[in-house]
A = this chain, B = another copy of it.
Amino acid sequence: MRIVVLAGGIGGARFLRGLKQAVGPDSEITVIGNTGDDIHLFGLKVCPDLDTVMYTLGGGIHEEQGWGRADESFSVKAEMKAYGVGPEWFGLGDKDFATHIVRTQMLGAGYPLSAVTEALCDRWQPGVRLLPMSDDRVETHVLTDIDGERKAVHFQEYWVRHHATIPAHAIIPVGAETAKPAPGVLEAIAEADVVILPPSNPVVSVGTILAVPGIRRAVAQAAAPVIGLSPIIGGAPVRGMADKVLEAVGVETSAAAVAKHYGSDLLDGWLVDESDAAAVAEVEAAGIPCRAVPLWMTDVDATTAMARAALAFAEAVRTA
């Protein structure tokens, strides 16, 4: 079975760990990763979402934190501070720095991000094919107010530095309109047996991937069922601050609203948490088949059950 997953960072990565356990070794999982969160720090190219997927599936992730490396040290960062070179608010450990140095060196040598990601995965062996959504630079900016002035800041500045506590008036995936899908992205979607939107952020993760010209249409027109899992449970994000960016794009923070935001042209099925069973009728009224199942990724087994539910739903949709 060929499975395509459009993934952001922590939520997507944890879902993928369950999905890998849910499927047999003869299944092929292609992950199309969000690169809108990418940022240049200290002259190095940092790809937080790709790395979170790679580290999580490759066994290097800091489990409690959900991002960055386990057993990490912060010697380089302390030196940067001693040199007075910022930003200080982005937590890069020494091991993590190495990944960004290797990536930046390869990009500087002329390799596209997709080739670099493949090379990094040679080490991590994530057990999935990890593709960046695009080899072109896309940077999600947030239109906000800082010190009374309206300005656009990099998503990471909004998210990590300000913890999404400053107003978000608009989310702008800068460069998306001219970006091309990375090699293999459209083909993977076209050849998939199922496409899954995991409980990643629907605006700044999955939404950014879908903003790359050609990807949304490829997903919408895919022969395969497209099944989404709600990142909203009981009117709040499972984790992170998705409510803030949903508000910025005028979408209510509810499982049903997110489904309708994706749209019936895109989704062939939507899973909400069992506590949101009341939303099933609203989603189905919008033309999207919907089921309520447990959606808390409390551990790998719970996540595996979620992945199985998504695959079963896809099968049901396919034969309906």
Question: A-side interface residues toward B, CB under 8 Å?
Answer: 42-44, 73, 75-76, 79-80, 82-85, 94-95, 97-99, 101-102, 104-105, 108-109, 120, 122-123
Contacts and interface: CB of A to CB of B under 8 A. Distances in A.
22 contacts: A43-B101, A43-B104, A43-B108, A44-B101, A73-B75, A75-B75, A75-B94, A75-B95, A76-B76, A76-B94, A76-B95, A76-B97, A76-B98, A76-B101, A79-B94, A80-B101, A83-B99, A83-B102, A83-B120, A83-B123, A94-B94, A97-B101
A80 B98 contact: yes
Contact of A102 (B80, B105, B109, B123): B80
B75 A105 contact: no
Nearest to A122: B84
A76 B74 CA distance: 10
Contacts of A101: 42-44, 76, 80, 97, 101
Contacts of A99: 79, 83
Contact of A79 (B42, B95, B104): B95
Contacts of A42: 101-102, 105
A91 to B, nearest CB: 15
A109 B42 CA distance: 11
Contacts of A80: 98, 101-102
Contacts of A76: 76, 94-95, 97-98, 101
A101 B78 CA distance: 13
Contact of A82 (B44, B84, B104, B123): B123
A277 to B, nearest CB: 47
Given A73-B73, A85-B102, 10 more contacts: A42-B101, A42-B102, A43-B101, A43-B104, A43-B109, A44-B101, A75-B75, A76-B95, A79-B94, A79-B95
A190 B123 CA distance: 55
Contacts of A73: 73, 75, 94
A211 B97 CA distance: 37
A85 B97 contact: no
Contacts of A95: 75-76, 79
A99 to B, nearest CB: 7
Contacts of A83: 98-99, 102, 120, 123
